[in-house]
C-alpha cells in the first residue's frame, strides 16, 4: 500500500443543479500529511464528501489507496476516519457511549468498540471526563471527541475538516500536537482541510490548493521552499560588481543597484555561507544581508493570483 498514491483524482467532476462544483480534477497525492487549501467556495468540503461517497461524481472518478470510490466504496470507507467540521452528537450520550457507537458503525464488534473507545478518549486527553454527558463538554472538549471517534476504528487515512476552527490558542496548540503525534506515532496518512495556513504549515508536507473547483497548485512544501526562495538583499562596503560576477558564475541571478546594493536569487546548490566566501575572495565585506524562503502564505497567495499555480520569482 505504501507504494500507491494516497489519493488519485482522475477527471473528477461534481455538479449540483447543473453547476460545476469540482471541475476535471486530475492529480495524485502521496504525502504522509496533505493540506487541502482554498478560499471559501473553492470546493474543499465537496471534494472530501465526494471521496467519502456522500456525493456522486458527474464524471471521472477517484481512488483511495487504489480502491475506486465508484466501484469499491465500502472498502474505501473502511480505510478512512473522518472528523467533520460540524457537530453531529446524539443527545443524552456520554463520550464513551458515543465513541463506542461510532466504532460499531465503522465495523468493530461491540466489545472491541468499547475497548477502543476508552483508548481513543484517553489518547486525546479525555480519559477522566469520558463518562460525562457530551452536553456538559466545552467546545474544545467536543472537538477532541470528534477526533476520538475518527480514529477509534484504526483507519489508514484520516480526513480532518477544520479541526482547530473556533478553538482558543491553548486548545489549538493541543490539537496540533495531537495531529502531529498521530501522523508520527500511529503512522496514519492525514488530509487536513483548513482555512488556517499556519495549521497546514505546521502539520503537512504536501499541499493541494483549489480555486473555483479547480486545482491551481500542488506542491511538496519542503521542495517548494527549497526551490522558491525570496530575494536576498546584500549591502557591501565597496562596489559589489566582482561579487555579482562571481555569484553569476555559480548560477545565481543578480541585480546591482547603486554599486553597493545587490539583489540576488540563489542557485539551488548555493548556500549563504558560500556568498561570504565569495565576498572574502573578492576583498569585499558583506555588511547587511536579508534572506527569506517562501512561506506557505507566499505560495498560497501566488497560486490565487496566478490561477494556474505557476510560481515566478522576480528581481
**Average pLDDT score over the chain:** 89
Class (C level, CATH) for 7-225: alpha beta
What are the grid coordinates assigned to 95, written together? Answer: 463520550
- pLDDT tens digits for 97-121? 999 999 999 999 999 999 999 999 9
- pLDDT tens digits for 10-26? 999 999 998 999 999 99
When pLDDT is averaged across residues 238-250 and rounded to a whole number, the result is 92
Residues constituting the chain: 315
- Find the angle CA(98)-CA(101)-CA(104) to the nearest 5 degrees: 155
Neighbour tally for 295: CB within 10 Å: 16
Q: Which residue from 209, 197, 163 is spatially nearest to 182, judged by alpha carbons?
A: 163
Only one residue has cell 543597484, namely 257
Exposed (0-12), middle (13-18) or buried (19+): which is 270, by Cβ within 10 Å?
Answer: middle
When pLDDT is averaged across residues 167-193 and rounded to a whole number, the result is 91
What residue ranges of the chain are covered by domains with CATH 3.30.70?
231-290
pLDDT at residue 310 greater than cutoff 50: no
Q: Taking the CA of residue 272 as centre, how many other CA atoms within 13 Å lie in the half-sphere pointing to its CB?
A: 14
User: What pLDDT sits at residue 293?
Assistant: 62
Question: What's CA 190's distance to the chain center, in Å?
Answer: 8
User: What pLDDT sits at residue 229?
Assistant: 59
When pLDDT is averaged across residues 47-72 and rounded to a whole number, the result is 95
Alpha helix segments (H runs only) across 127-271: 139-151, 169-181, 197-203, 221-227, 241-249
- pLDDT tens digits for 123-137? 999 999 999 999 999
User: What pLDDT sits at residue 227?
Assistant: 61
Strand partners, 215: 210
Residue pair 240/71 in contact (Cβ under 8 Å)? The answer is: no
Residue pair 241/255 in contact (Cβ under 8 Å)? The answer is: no
Q: How far apart are CA 164 and CA 221, in angstroms?
A: 21
User: What pLDDT sits at residue 232?
Assistant: 82
Question: What's CA 82's distance to the chain center, in Å?
Answer: 15
Residue pair 129/137 in contact (Cβ under 8 Å)? The answer is: yes
**Whether the predicted model's global pTM rises above the 0.75 cut:** yes
Q: How far apart are CA 59 and CA 11, in angstroms?
A: 7
Contacts of 89 (CB under 8 A, 6+ apart): 98, 134, 142, 145
Question: What's CA 314's distance to the chain center, in Å?
Answer: 27
Fold classification of 231-290 (topology level): Alpha-Beta Plaits (3.30.70)
What residue ranges of the chain are covered by domains with CATH 3.40.50.300?
7-225
User: What pLDDT sits at residue 112?
Assistant: 97
- Which of 139-153, 161-175, 245-259 has the lowest average pLDDT? 245-259
User: What pLDDT sits at residue 306?
Assistant: 72
Q: Assign 98 to helix, strand or coil.
A: helix
pLDDT at residue 312 greater than cutoff 70: no
Amino acid at each position: 500500500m505504501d507504494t500507491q498514491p494516497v489519493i488519485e483524482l482522475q477527471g473528477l467532476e461534481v455538479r449540483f443543479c447543473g453547476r460545476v462544483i469540482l471541475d476535471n480534477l486530475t492529480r495524485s497525492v502521496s504525502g504522509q500529511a496533505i493540506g487541502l487549501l482554498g478560499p471559501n467556495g473553492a470546493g474543499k468540503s465537496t471534494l472530501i464528501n465526494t471521496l467519502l461517497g456522500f456525493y456522486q461524481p458527474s464524471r471521472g472518478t477517484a481512488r483511495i489507496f487504489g480502491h475506486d470510490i465508484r466501484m469499491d466504496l465500502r472498502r474505501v470507507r473502511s480505510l478512512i476516519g473522518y472528523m467533520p467540521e460540524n457537530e453531529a452528537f446524539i443527545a443524552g450520550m456520554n463520550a464513551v457511549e458515543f465513541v463506542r457507537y461510532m466504532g460499531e458503525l465503522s465495523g468493530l464488534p461491540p466489545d472491541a468498540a468499547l475497548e477502543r473507545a476508552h483508548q481513543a478518549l484517553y489518547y486525546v486527553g479525555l480519559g477522566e471526563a469520558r463518562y460525562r454527558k457530551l452536553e456538559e463538554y466545552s467546545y474544545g472538549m467536543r472537538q477532541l471527541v470528534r477526533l476520538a471517534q475518527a480514529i477509534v476504528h484504526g483507519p489508514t487515512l484520516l480526513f480532518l475538516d477544520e479541526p482547530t476552527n473556533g478553538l482558543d490558542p491553548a486548545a489549538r496548540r493541543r490539537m496540533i500536537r495531537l495531529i502531529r503525534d498521530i501522523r508520527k506515532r500511529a503512522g496514519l496518512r492525514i488530509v487536513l482541510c483548513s482555512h488556517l495556513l499556519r495549521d497546514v504549515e505546521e502539520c503537512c508536507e504536501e499541499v493541494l490548493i483549489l480555486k473555483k473547483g479547480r486545482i491551481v497548485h500542488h506542491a511538496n512544501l519542503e521542495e517548494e521552499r527549497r526551490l522558491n526562495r525570496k530575494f536576498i538583499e546584500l549591502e557591501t562596503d565597496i562596489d559589489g560588481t566582482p561579487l555579482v560576477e562571481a555569484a553569476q558564475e555559480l548560477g545565481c541571478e543578480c541585480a546591482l543597484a547603486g554599486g553597493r546594493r545587490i539583489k540576488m536569487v540563489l542557485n539551488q546548490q548555493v548556500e549563504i555561507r558560500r556568498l561570504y566566501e565569495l565576498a572574502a575572495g573578492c576583498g569585499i565585506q558583506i555588511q547587511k544581508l536579508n534572506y527569506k524562503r517562501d512561506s506557505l502564505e507566499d505560495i498560497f497567495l501566488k497560486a490565487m493570483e496566478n490561477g494556474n499555480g505557476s510560481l515566478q520569482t522576480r528581481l
